[in-house]
Structure 1
Amino acid sequence: MTVDPKTAPAHGPIVEIDLSALCANYAMIRDAAPEARVSAAVKCDAYGLGLTPISRALFERGGCDEFFVAYPEEGAALREALNNAAARIYCFAGPSEETLALYERVQMTPVINSLTQAELWAKRGAGPTVVHIDTGMNRLGAPMSEAQAIAATLSAAGREVSIVMSHLACASDPTHPKNKDQREKFVEAARRFSGARLSLAASAGALMDKAYQFDLVRPGIALYGGSPFDADDERICDVATLKAPIVQLRDLRPGETVGYGATFTATAPVRIATVALGYGDGYPRNDTPAGAAIVNGALAPIVGRVSMDFITLDITSLKNPVKIGDYAEFFGPRLRLFKAAAAAHRVPYDLLTGLGGRIDRRYL
């Protein structure tokens, strides 16, 4: 249900989530990678925006039927949300003794990250697998030296390898030489898995060059309105709008200070608006003020430190009158997520995934 924040009670922060924009981003990626299947990474509660409504919109309206999660428990929640056995769910964490039964019950496909996991799945698991080969991230995935042994182990047990994947470490910079190096290593490793689909690209790889798209791309942040690059990408629609009500106004005299540590001192008369949003809601706290918000169509800088429940804005220069109950927009169509994250010394990923549980999520 659509709720107008201007008429809602001004109690706390709101994030409006535009499901049409979400599906538009999915369609944009599909157009950018016309020869590849487009899945969706919905881990971490769909990047903080809500697993159930996000996955349902992508499945029912966007046409997405392949999803990646980080942990088996996320996969179980996703299967329940979709209520559809046809959707394919892949779990990055891979199988363990404790999660084998959950994989079977949920009909979830594990991502094999080591020879040990391959041996476990060959003995106890059932159904297809995804194999993750590490080509230079050195985070998760089997080393290239284990690729042949993993292929032989799974083949001997009759376990189909449906996808071979890897993950780019430096795709945020399309010119980085490591991208090409990883692609070459990936192609070499994938030769051990005849007939498997190949997947190297997440959001950045899917959007930067056809050479990285292969058979399946796995976008995450670009679906949710954030650029995966070191610069903003205007092709990506804004999905989330973070706003919070102004709960108090005050006028400062020269010499008066704002917030913990008195990090802001007025050098002239200043009008301050206190907004019901803070680091308790996931908005970044910095020792020095950083960032801004849109208030009545104009940019108002943050002054003083962000506290747990409140942020203070300098509205002195705003032409339009500001009153208690007006909303301050911290990112959204009028203040792009990439710009807001950069101003707060963050990236879009952690600004979205850090959104707190007491923020009211409203789906448009």
Structure 2
Amino acid sequence: MSRPAKIIIDLAAIQANCRLAQTLAPHSKTIAVVKADAYGHGAVEVAKALEAQIEMFAVSCLEEALVLRENALSKPILLLEGCFDKSELEIAADNQFELVVHNGLQLEQLLDTRFETPLNIWLKIDTGMHRLGVSLQQFESIYARLSASENVKNIVLMTHFAHADDVGGAYTLMQIGRLEKCMQPIVADASKKVQLSLANSAALLAWPQTRVEWNRPGIMLYGLSPFDEVIDQAKQLIPAMNFESQVIALRDISVGESVGYGCNWTAKRQSIIATIAVGYGDGYPRSAKSGTPVLINGHRAPLVGRVSMDLISVDVTDLQNVHIGDPAILWGKDLSANEVASWADSIGYELVTRMPKRAAITFLN
């Protein structure tokens, strides 16, 4: 029998989460964000499951887009960071990838290249994230130059919200206001039909005014809420990744005895400790603290001691009838990766995205 640590990806759950995104914005088009190997869920498999359901995919870079094309994914693909070098433009054009332009260098390289077929360009505006995007002051002139170029077929305007997970917060309203103000000269020109893409997962779930022509759901597709608080719409999300293993040893621990490296957990009562075949080598966070919940036979039990490369220890003293071979759920439908991440001073995004390939992966349709 192979090592029991494994990952099960529920593709039907991802499809259901996508339908939720579309229900929230029935008049919008959906860009499924599958960057970083679909947030660790398998970009090719996820894209195949969603292709008939959505209008476009989004990835971080050219390499990620080519993987989808090489696996017969034919829907349009948006490169969220654009091209990193002029040499990538020809490959992007040959595959009819759609490009984000977010700085002056990308603009000049685009305008200085000859294409047989013009490209769709997504002009990113920095309204307050201060990470990528042309400045509010540069926007009008850059938009005019793109509009005049034979290399450009259509232009979609986009921005990214820094704090959309703060429901009703002032910062998102400020960003929306900045965008509307800088767009006024273009919107005033009746001959120009401006398309927008604003909403990421948090905005799509909590900010109805951001649900415009194109939405960009990411983490919500995989069933994780982007909010620390409970949001009604997010309650409907179905976690798609189930990370599990098994109990491989049980032992009685006397009062005063320690468990694991560093002896940083010591029994205060006669205890039963289960050893689980999973560790940071499988993607379980080493920073998880004692007390982090693990489900043993469907019941919560606390992690004790340090996480090691291959193993963790769990206090099952209060559980009934625990045996070697019993299932252990590290996170999934009944234990959110967000909750586990909170015990590791992290976020669910990081936990699911950085999973190594050591644990066997199974896809359920």
Q: Same fold (TM over 0.5)?
A: yes
**Structure 1 counterpart SS, 2:48:** helix
Shift of 1:354: 1.7
Aligned residue for 2:242, secondary structure, equals: strand
SS of corresponding position for 1:302: strand
Corresponding residue to 2:166 among 146, 150, 173: 173
Residue 186 of structure 1 deviates from its aligned partner by 1.7
**Offset at 1:204?**
0.7
Question: Where do 5+ consecutive residues of structure 1 fail to align?
Answer: 1-8
8 Å contact 1:72–1:93 — kept in the other structure? no
CA distance in 2, matches of 1:150, 1:250: 67
CA apart distance, 1:174: 1.4
Aligned residue type for 1:323: H
Across the aligned residues of Structure 1 and Structure 2, the Cα RMSD in angstroms comes to 1.6
CA distance in 1 between partners of 2:287 and 2:281 (Å):
13
Q: Could you state the TM-score of these two structures normalised by the residue count of structure 1?
A: 0.92
Question: 2:57 matched to 1:70?
Answer: no
Residue aligning to 1:267: 268
Report 1:60-209 matches (<5 A).
60=52, 63-84=53-74, 87-95=75-83, 96-124=85-113, 126-158=118-150, 159-191=152-184, 192=186, 194-209=192-207
Counterpart position of 1:24: 16
More deviation, 306-315/43-52:
306-315
CA contact (8 A) 1:52 1:82 kept: no
2:332 maps to 1:344: no
1:290 offset after TM fit, Å? 4.5
Aligned partners of 1:187, 1:79: CA distance in 2, in Å?
36
The CA distance in 1 between the partners of 2:276 and 2:2, in whole Å, is 10
Note the C-alpha offset of 1:210: 1.6
* Offset from partner CA, 1:19-47 (integer Å, 9 cap, x none): 11110000011001112112111000000
In the TM superposition, what are the counterparts of 1:257-296 in structure 2 within 5 Å?
A: 257-286=258-287, 288-296=289-297
TM-score with structure 2 setting the length: 0.92
Structure 1 vs Structure 2: percent identity of aligned residues?
A: 34
Kindly tell me the number of residue pairs found equivalent between the two proteins: 351
2:261 & 2:254 partners in 1: Cα distance?
Answer: 18
Residue 363 of structure 2 aligns with an amino acid whose one-letter code is Y
* CA drift at 1:106: 2.3
The answer to whether the 8 Å contact 2:289/2:343 transfers is no
Structure 2 unaligned segments of length 5 or more: list them.
none
How far apart are 1:12 and its partner, in Å? 3.5
Instruction: Give, in whole Å, the separation in 2 of the partners of 1:23 and 1:288.
Output: 33
Over residues 166-204 of structure 1, what are the superposed CA-to-partner deviations in whole Å (9 max), with x where a residue is unaligned?
A: 000001111210000101112233444832310111001
Work out the CA distance in 1 between the residues paired with 2:197 and 2:182. 12
Distance 1:11 1:132 in 2: 46
Please give the residue correspondences for 1:315-334 in structure 2 after superposition, counting only pairs within 5 Å.
Answer: 315-319=316-320, 321-334=321-334
| Matched AA of 1:358 | R
3-state SS of 2:57 partner: strand
Q: Tell me, what secondary structure is at the counterpart of 1:258?
A: coil
Alpha-carbon shift at residue 149 of structure 1 (Å): 2.1
Query: Which 10-residue stretch deviates more, 270-279 or 283-292?
Result: 283-292
Secondary structure of 1:357's aligned partner: coil
Q: d(CA) in 1 for partners of 2:90 and 2:291? A: 48
Give me the whole-angstrom Cα distance separating, in 2, the residues matched to 1:205 and 1:326.
40
Structure 1 residue 58 corresponds to structure 2 residue 50: yes
Pairwise CA distance, 1:336: 2.3
Q: Which residue of 1 aligns with 2:257?
A: 256
Q: Distance in 2 between matches of 1:105 and 1:13?
A: 41
Moved more, 11-20 or 298-307: 11-20
Contact 1:280–1:309 at 8 Å: present in 2 too?
yes
More displaced stretch, 150-159 vs 24-33: 150-159
Deviation at 1:341, TM superposition (A): 2.3
CA distance in 1, matches of 2:295, 2:225: 21
Q: Deviations over 1:239-292 (max 9, x none)?
A: 111101222211111111111111100122111111111112222122742411
Q: Contact 1:164–1:190 at 8 Å: present in 2 too?
A: no
